Amino acid sequence: MTLVESPAATGPAAPPAVGPAPGRGGGALRLLGRRLLPVGASIVAVLVLWTAFLQVFGIRRVIGKTPLDVWGWLVTAPQAVANRGVVFGNLGITLRDAGIGYVAGLVAALAVAMVFVLSRSVEQALMPVATLLRSVPLVAMTPIIVLAFGRTLGAVAVIGAIVVFFPALVTLVYGLRSASVQAQELVAVYGGTRWTRLRLVMLPSAAPAFFAAARLGVPGALVGSLMAEWLATGEGIGAALLKAMGGFRYLEMWSSVAVVTAVSILAYALVGVVESVVLARMGLD
Amino acid sequence: MPPTAGPLLGRRSFLRWSGMAAGALGGGALLAACGGGSDSGAAPAAPGSNQYGRVALQLSWIKNTEFNGEYMADSKGYYREAGFEGVDLLAGGSASTGVETNLVSGKCWAGLSAPVITAPAILQGAPLKIVGATYQKNPFCIVSAATKPIATPQDMVGKKIGVQDSNDQVWNGLLKANSIDPASINRVPVQFDPSVLTTGEVDGYLGYITNEPNTLKVKGFATQSFLFADHGLPLVAETVTVLQETIDNEREKLKAFLRAEIRGWKDAVADPGAATRLAVGNYGKDQNLDYAEQLLEATDQNGLVVSDETRTNGLFTISDRPVEENLQALRLAGSAVSKEQLFDLSLISEVYAADPSLKS
């Protein structure tokens, strides 16, 4: 859904370099507000769905913890400080793992997307491989990755990157291709190479697509890191969730899920804020 | 605070009302089947009467010889003769949802677990009871390569140990009972396959003394193991675990089930070969089990199922002394529960009182 909004805005009908950008001056704060409002809405929606889920399915309280239970465990309980120590200690590891996968996935996607727009034949040769990576379930692939990379940050990077890579690649290739043909021809007329064309015209006009990919990559990177932690490294939230379930520590489990969900929503919004500011300055909003 | 049956009833009526039991909520349908009605005071079932319907038994691990008695009871029709239409044996282990959770959420009617897993769940408010034990001695162990042996809990410090998520409490119990700092050991997640030991991916692997050492031995890989039972945790295992409300509302049904279990396990102990053939060729077919290895395991297992106590009192019984030992070990492992909180051994006594011939 979010994929639609940004790249579409840079379709051939709206040449990027001549965008009108009416609200450019002093709009940054307003943009920030516009991005943060949905965060509140998202959190309310999650809380409502959470409560409704427990009600509708009649999950017993021993297993199904409510937002209030989680709040109590993390904030008001006598052991709240220790509890927070557990969850946020794990969260730190998960954020590191997700960050590694996120950066690795986005950088790889950008590099490959650039190669693809420079050379159609490379794209035709390699796109099926990228699709293949996407179609093999990650759970099935993880043991092989662990065998190759060990239970290391290398494996975490690969697993996270695979999740982030493919949607980012598709979005970026589309973004790079949607650059103004006239502007590209202008560079060509002045004797510019394909690389110059990519650098001066295609990359700047792919900025909205890049940010769309960056936003979509946030939950993807988190999912990837949780999976890597569950199956490979055995640390962080991904591992703690399963251990807590095995140990019947459902307050810890629900609290960890709540915290990681909140972080995902916030990180998504944060990228959105950066996107708004950068695109506004580029006159692409 | 013991949770009420309210939400559970709520779910069932929800299912009835919406009429979607068959579709999206397969688990719910199972629950409805498992829930059954109240049968307190009902007469013992006439053979083959199906009066108890279908129930689900959650196993503690994948379908290997560890459940030979259940395979016997199922294939020889002991469950049916006890009045059950059938007993669905649900494979478990590794990262699958635990017995305690599945009991509380109604995904199964009874489960095979271990006190070191059940006791913490009870302390968290899960209304569960252990009504009998298949293994008189728990086979939990840490397996390591003979060339890089881990002979005691202290030897694990600084090593990489593979622990299944489902065994989280078992592992924590071992560390607590031996005063080992969890941070001093590199614990990594593993699944069902102990070959991670042969590749050097881990230095130690939490397993059953009957299982993984034999699996690796057959493959020509020599191992060293130490038993949890020798290091502070002399606990029973493969314990039959149910909800308190099952004891309250379905006492006769549960006793009928225990009777079938006893009959099945008597056969499995008497003829490990036949039981193992069932495990390898039928119930655990998709596990590609090796008959020779599984037979080794089944034979070793007899030493856990049969003890001097069970020769006198019958299989699945736990007499007072082991009960005390278990409670003491659990205290050491950080789960101080009382006998009344954890065990209800009155049903198994009643089963043997009604039919003493089951003992022999």
pLDDT digits (tens, 9 = 90+) for B217-227: 988 999 999 99
For A149, nearest residue in chain B (alpha carbons): B201
Place of tokens 């083959």: B48
Q: Across the interface, which of B7, B165, B199 has its CB nearest the CB of A246?
A: B165
Q: Does an H or E element contain B225, and which?
A: strand B223-227
Taking alpha carbons only, the member of B90, B91, B87 closest to residue B62 is B91
Structure confidence at residue A245 (pLDDT): 86
Q: What interface predicted TM-score (ipTM) does this complex get? A: 0.73
Indicate the CATH number for domain B140-230.
Answer: 3.40.190.10
For B201, nearest residue in chain A (alpha carbons): A150
What global pTM score does this model have? Answer: 0.78
CA distance B237 to chain A (A): 16
3-state secondary structure of B134: strand
Is the per-residue pLDDT at B350 higher than 70?
A: yes
CB B121 within 8 A of CB B337: no
Instruction: Report whether CATH 1.10.20.60 matches the domain A26-282.
Output: no
Distance (Å, rounded) from C-alpha A60 to C-alpha B248?
19
Q: How many Cβ contacts (< 8 angstroms) between chains A and B?
A: 82
CA distance B287 to chain A (A): 17
Q: Tens-digit pLDDT profile for chain A (285 aa)?
A: 333 344 434 444 444 444 444 444 456 677 667 767 888 888 899 999 999 999 998 888 889 999 999 999 999 999 999 999 999 999 999 999 999 999 999 999 999 999 999 998 999 998 888 888 778 888 888 888 888 888 889 999 999 999 999 999 999 999 999 999 999 999 999 999 989 999 999 999 999 999 999 999 999 999 999 999 998 888 999 999 988 988 889 999 999 999 999 999 999 999 988 998 899 888 876
CB A161 within 8 A of CB A193: no
Q: Does an H or E element contain A278, and which?
A: helix A250-282
For B165, nearest residue in chain A (alpha carbons): A243
Q: Running DSSP on this structure, what letter comes out for residue B155?
A: G
3-class SS string, A190-203: CCCCHHHHHHHHHH
Structure confidence at residue B27 (pLDDT): 37
Contact list, A234 vs chain B (CB under 8 Å): 187-189
CB B130 within 8 A of CB B342: yes
What is the crossing angle of helices B115-123 and B168-177, to 10°?
A: 90
What is the crossing angle of helices A80-118 and A120-135, to 10°?
A: 150
Per the CB < 8 Å rule, is A58 touching B7? yes
Establish if A140 touches chain B: CB-CB under 8 angstroms.
no
CB B60 within 8 A of CB B92: yes
Per the CB < 8 Å rule, is A61 touching B126? no
Establish if A246 touches chain B: CB-CB under 8 angstroms.
yes
For A53, nearest residue in chain B (alpha carbons): B11
What's the burial of B176, exposed, middle or buried (CB within 10 Å: 0-12/13-18/19+)? middle
Dihedral-angle region of residue B141 (phi above 0 means left; psi in -120 to 50 means alpha; beta otherwise): beta
What percent of chain B clears pLDDT 70, i.e. is strictly above it?
86
**How many other β-carbons are positioned within 10 Å of the β-carbon of residue B34?**
20
Per-residue pLDDT reduced to its tens digit, B289-325: 999 999 999 999 999 999 999 999 999 999 999 999 9
List all residues 6 or more positions away from B266 whose beta carbon is below 8 Å from its beta carbon. B69, B315, B358
Contact list, B14 vs chain A (CB under 8 Å): 56-58
Domain boundaries, chain A: 26-282
CATH number for B36-137+236-359 (one of 3.40.190.10, 3.20.20.70, 3.40.50.11740, 1.10.1040.10): it is 3.40.190.10
CA distance A100 to chain B (A): 20
3-state secondary structure of B55: strand
- Give the ranges where A150-193 is alpha helix by DSSP (H): 153-177, 181-189
Domain pair B36-137+236-359 / B140-230, same fold: yes
3-state secondary structure of B204: strand
Distance (Å, rounded) from C-alpha B206 to C-alpha B144?
9
CB A270 within 8 A of CB B228: no
Establish if A120 touches chain B: CB-CB under 8 angstroms.
no
